[in-house]
Amino acid sequence: MNRLAAVALLFISGVVKADVRVTFTIDSRPMKALYASAVRGAKTADQEIADALLPELHMRFPQWRYVTTGPAISSLDFHVQSKATGEHTFSVVLTSGNRITRWNSVWLTPGELDAQGGYPARAQVGTIIAARVAEKLLDANQQAIFENLRDNVPVVMGGQWLWAPGRREEPRIVLPLRWTEAKFLSASAFRVVCDWPNKQMKATLRSQALSVAAIYEDKVSRARYEALALRPLRRIVGEEDVAVGSVLREMDELTPFAVFLQTFDPAGLQMAGGTQ
Amino acid sequence: MNARFAAVAMAALFSVSTAPAQQFEQLMERGEQADLRGKTIKAASQFKAAVEVAKTPEDRVRATFAYIDALKGAQTNAGLDPAAAGQVEAAYQKALKDAQGMLSFKAHNDYAVFLLDRGDHARAQQIFADGVKDCDSVSQKTAARYRYNFALSQARSGQMEPALATYRRALENDPTLEPASNAAFNIVNELGPQRGAAEAVDLIELLIDRNQLGEAEKRITQALDPARGEWQQQSAPMEKLVRLFARWAAKNDNASETVKTLLPPLIAAAANGGEAARERAAELQGLWERSDLPLSFESNAELLFPHWPSAEERNDLSHLAMIAADDWELANSGQAMARYIVAWQLDPANVDAIVYCAALLDLRDPSPEREALFDSMITALFESKRAAADDHQALLRLHMVLGSIFEKRGQWGSLTDPRSAAFQYWSAFHEYESLRASEADAPVYPGVHANLGAAYQHIGMAPEAWQQYVSAAELNLTVRQIAAAELMLERADSTGYVPTAEETAHINQVRTLLRTLHPPRPPTDVQIAQEVKERLEAHPEIDASQIDVAVRQGVVTLSAQQTASHSTLAVTSAVLPTEGVTEVQVEVASPPP
């Protein structure tokens, strides 16, 4: 199953949020023994660390949304491992569809655990380990992780046409992203993957975000809110890449289902050859 | 002038000065709303009207850009009909005239992009050239995009060499700009093997130096493609590629698997590239694949790598040896250690090589060979201290590892014997002091004090041990390691040292802080019951086996047989001082008839 097929399956099965599920697993035997013996409240040390990682991820990759429970279309699975030499390493595996990418980083070299006087106390394990993961793993691989998220993980699922089919107006897509939370994306470009049921294929719309908000109407909750809107510029189907302006009549046959970030570009300079 | 007249005059003045500004904003707002609904013709007319009423050049340019966007709508620059294209071009020329600063930079870029997309490469190139001077006053990312566009205009005008240079500048501004990397390598491919191979490795070097390791890996992989045999025959670039491969791997925390994948094609490609490339690659391969590297500090790693002469290259190899060692660790710890030794010999400032070697050595079964290696390592330590005198953190770790090894052997020794825990922990402490003096945000390492405290205690230096334990407690409190702080205070007490009045005041302050951060919890009913039982058992006049103890929220209920010999007073007075007890109830049961 390819990545888009996997995303489509989740979408059809009712997962409409493009959330990234975050887990943390302590694979180090001494750490496991230390933290397993001290259950604090209902949460395990693993869960506390995963919770504490959410703000760290949000700070570095604010374009995506992260959860620790529930269905999600992709995951970031963090691990800590240790060796007999005393070396401890962090790793993270990004899984989206059938694509898996892994990054590693040394947390503690031999001797360092003794120097710091042992592992963090149970009461602080979440905040301390999450801060170290952020420093050693996320900061060290920020560009590569960002590029992988950008290419493989949608920022949001779905979207509505702000457009009456058959009229002369140009199409706009309103995304289920609240303006207050997504305004920082208003200079970005996106790839909107759409279903094209009439042709039983997929089409990608290269689109530019607009600097003003539009109203999104949630069909399920009936909520209406100001949201980020896009101007589709090019339609790509296989090798065919055409300006949306030249295929306006076919636009209402498309159903947006997964929206990927293309460039996060607050500079707003045009690039030759259309939106990059 | 009466008040009414003044108010009317002020209102008139106000309307003269603000009305156009309000009108401008209203027109812009209407234009944006129309554009949002896809009514681009209406939007364009609103923005055009806004241009007419704009009072400042900035507003005029802002409205002009919006007008251009609306005119273009969902058409590309190339797809615009001639009439619309003429309007767009006229608007860009107007913007170019009015704009200043960043807006001028954007006007140059967008107008030139428009011309480029319309096929007017020469004029596009001219406009880009006019504006490129401002690249120094914008962000690196913005400058990179501008230069990318500029380079494209040069390439489309057939000026491939200048285009390549400009793409390179774009990558220097923003090495993450993938289109610039793709375009630059496309030109390189067109240059042919002789010129292209040299340019390709220069671009790979740029990517590695700018830490674009993923992109560099992609380009190295392409360069090693067997289909590029002719390129690989260029001896100087091929030799440089082998060197860059080592630099790339040395910088990459995630290189291990990829190195193993890329080594065979590297060896194959280097075989085409002349003797120097071949020899370098073979030595690199040996670092990974040889299973006979000498496990000795007396060997000379330089002999293993005669084709890697410069210090910079040897530093890269040193890091690569660490990665190779990590790879060997499970299969053959001896060969892993041999690689750590090689890493240290290639770069004696690479203290971590010795740290890992020491940690691995500690895991080996005792043997004369192990002891000999250990002795050599202590000598190596002093060489490392000379070579890496400023790397306090790595030296601290090394002393900690060695200290723990001697501690496990029970060799507490003395502060002057390098083959002792006391010396190593004392040295770790001094490295920590230097680290804190040189780095404001040095990590907090209470364990350094704790271990030195233990060493002092073992060698009979109680006052010094007491001080180190108290320091460890204080540092633990700064990082909220409460239990560890409590333990350190207990250890300070265990030294038997009687502190001076000043020291007593100090430790009391630490204890107060500890209580503030972590007030003692009242004992649970189960803990109270346990304590009560122990007190009863310890009392000489009470037969504890005759008494049942129950505790509920601090209230202790003692149930005894009437025949029991002890008095109620004795029982109560034994139990009442127990911490957490609020009340004692004694129930005396009558014996069964």
Judging contacts by C-beta atoms under 8 Å, the chain B residues touching residue A85 are: 329, 356, 359-360, 362-363
Q: What is the pLDDT of residue A263?
A: 86
**Quick check: B49 pLDDT over 80?**
yes
Please report where in the chains the tokens 């490469």 appear, as a residue: B121
Joined together, the tokens standing for residue B60 give 């005029």
State which H helix or E strand residue B558 sits in.
Answer: strand B555-561
Min Cα separation A70/chain B (Å) = 30
Amino acid at B167: Y
Q: At B84, is the secondary structure helix, strand, or coil?
A: helix
Query: CA B128 to CA B116: how far, in whole Å?
Result: 10
Query: CA A160 to CA A215: how far, in whole Å?
Result: 10
Judging contacts by C-beta atoms under 8 Å, the chain B residues touching residue A235 are: none
Q: B142–A231: do the CB atoms touch at under 8 Å?
A: no
ipTM value for the complex: 0.82
Least confident of A130-134, B100-104, B472-476: B100-104
Judging contacts by C-beta atoms under 8 Å, the chain A residues touching residue B358 are: 110
Query: Using CB atoms within 10 A of its CB, is residue B590 exposed (0-12), middle (13-18) or buried (19+)?
Result: exposed
**Quick check: B593 pLDDT over 70?**
no
Judging contacts by C-beta atoms under 8 Å, the chain A residues touching residue B397 are: 109-112, 115
Min Cα separation A212/chain B (Å) = 7
pLDDT in tens, A60-74: 999 999 999 887 889
**Quick check: B164 pLDDT over 60?**
yes
Q: What is the pLDDT of residue B12?
A: 45
Q: What is the pLDDT of residue A276?
A: 39
pTM recorded for the entire structure: 0.82
Query: CA B259 to CA B246: how far, in whole Å?
Result: 9
Mean pLDDT of A39-58: 87
Min Cα separation B380/chain A (Å) = 17
Please report where in the chains the tokens 């491919």 appear, as a residue: B189
pLDDT band at B520 (very low <50, low <70, confident <90, very high): low
Joined together, the tokens standing for residue A68 give 């620790």
Percent of chain A with pLDDT over 70: 87
Across the interface, of B152, B397, B483, the residue whose CB is closest to A109 is: B397
**Quick check: B540 pLDDT over 90?**
no
Q: Determine phi and psi for B318, rounding to 5 degrees.
A: -60, -45
Q: Which residues contact B22 (CB under 8 A, 6 or more apart)?
A: none
**Quick check: A84 pLDDT over 80?**
yes
Which of 52-111 (A) contact B at CB < 8 A? 83-87, 102-106, 109-111
Mean pLDDT of B191-213: 95
Question: Which residue, B216, B223, B310, B217, is CA-closest to B268?
Answer: B223
Percent of chain B with pLDDT over 70: 95
Question: Which residue, B389, B461, B400, B462, is CA-closest to B429?
Answer: B400
Mean pLDDT of A94-108: 92
Q: What is the pLDDT of residue B282?
A: 95
Query: CA B301 to CA B346: how far, in whole Å?
Result: 6
Min Cα separation B397/chain A (Å) = 5
Joined together, the tokens standing for residue B448 give 């350094």
Q: A112–B397: do the CB atoms touch at under 8 Å?
A: yes
Question: Which residue, B308, B144, B140, is CA-closest to B239?
Answer: B308
Nearest residue of A to residue B138, measured between CA atoms: A267
Nearest residue of A to residue B424, measured between CA atoms: A111
Higher-pLDDT residue of B470, B569: B470
Nearest residue of B to residue A141, measured between CA atoms: B253
Judging contacts by C-beta atoms under 8 Å, the chain B residues touching residue A268 are: 106
Q: What is the pLDDT of residue B14?
A: 44
Joined together, the tokens standing for residue B300 give 């000379």
Q: What is the pLDDT of residue B8?
A: 44
**Chain centroid offset of residue B329 CA:** 25
Q: A169–B253: do the CB atoms touch at under 8 Å?
A: no
Least confident of A12-26, A251-265, B263-277, B471-485: A12-26
Judging contacts by C-beta atoms under 8 Å, the chain A residues touching residue B447 are: 113-118
Q: B75–A115: do the CB atoms touch at under 8 Å?
A: no
- Tell whether A40 lies on the interface with B, counting CB pairs under 8 A: no
Across the interface, of A85, A103, A270, the residue whose CB is closest to B109 is: A270
**Quick check: A134 pLDDT over 90?**
yes
A75: β partners = A21, A95
Min Cα separation A113/chain B (Å) = 8
Joined together, the tokens standing for residue B518 give 């972590």
pLDDT in tens, B330-352: 899 999 999 999 999 999 889 99
Min Cα separation A245/chain B (Å) = 5
Q: What is the pLDDT of residue B532?
A: 87
pLDDT band at B1 (very low <50, low <70, confident <90, very high): very low
**Quick check: A179 pLDDT over 80?**
yes
Q: By the 8 A CB rule, do B340 and B325 touch?
A: yes
Higher-pLDDT residue of B175, A98: B175
Q: B356–A87: do the CB atoms touch at under 8 Å?
A: yes
Mean pLDDT of B189-215: 94
Q: What is the pLDDT of residue B576?
A: 78
Q: What is the pLDDT of residue B11?
A: 44
pLDDT band at A266 (very low <50, low <70, confident <90, very high): low
Which of 203-242 (A) contact B at CB < 8 A? 210-212, 214, 229, 231-234
**Quick check: B203 pLDDT over 80?**
yes
Q: Which residues contact B494 (CB under 8 A, 6 or more apart)?
A: B457
Least confident of A188-192, A267-271, B185-189, B191-195: A267-271
Across the interface, of A86, A117, A245, the residue whose CB is closest to B447 is: A117
Which of 130-159 (A) contact B at CB < 8 A? 140-141, 143-144, 147
pLDDT in tens, B244-302: 999 999 998 778 888 989 999 999 999 999 999 999 999 999 999 999 999 988 888 88
**CA contacts within 13 A on the Cβ side of B420:** 16
Min Cα separation B72/chain A (Å) = 9
Q: By the 8 A CB rule, do B499 and B481 touch?
A: no
Joined together, the tokens standing for residue B102 give 């960043």
Joined together, the tokens standing for residue B5 give 């007249």
Question: Which residue, A14, A70, A2, is CA-closest to A257?
Answer: A14
Across the interface, of A111, A244, A270, the residue whose CB is closest to B110 is: A270
Q: A111–B397: do the CB atoms touch at under 8 Å?
A: yes
**Quick check: A8 pLDDT over 70?**
no
Q: What is the pLDDT of residue A12?
A: 45
**Quick check: B544 pLDDT over 80?**
yes
Instruction: Report the 10 Å Cβ neighbour count for B417.
Output: 14
Nearest residue of B to residue A271, measured between CA atoms: B149
**Quick check: B72 pLDDT over 70?**
yes
pLDDT band at A274 (very low <50, low <70, confident <90, very high): low
Across the interface, of B38, B153, B356, the residue whose CB is closest to A85 is: B356
Mean pLDDT of B468-478: 96
Mean pLDDT of B458-486: 95
Q: What is the pLDDT of residue A42?
A: 65
Beta strands in chain A (DSSP E): 19-26, 65-67, 74-82, 88-96, 99-108, 156-157, 160-161, 173-178, 189-196, 201-209, 214-217, 224-237, 240-243, 255-263
Average pLDDT, chain A: 87
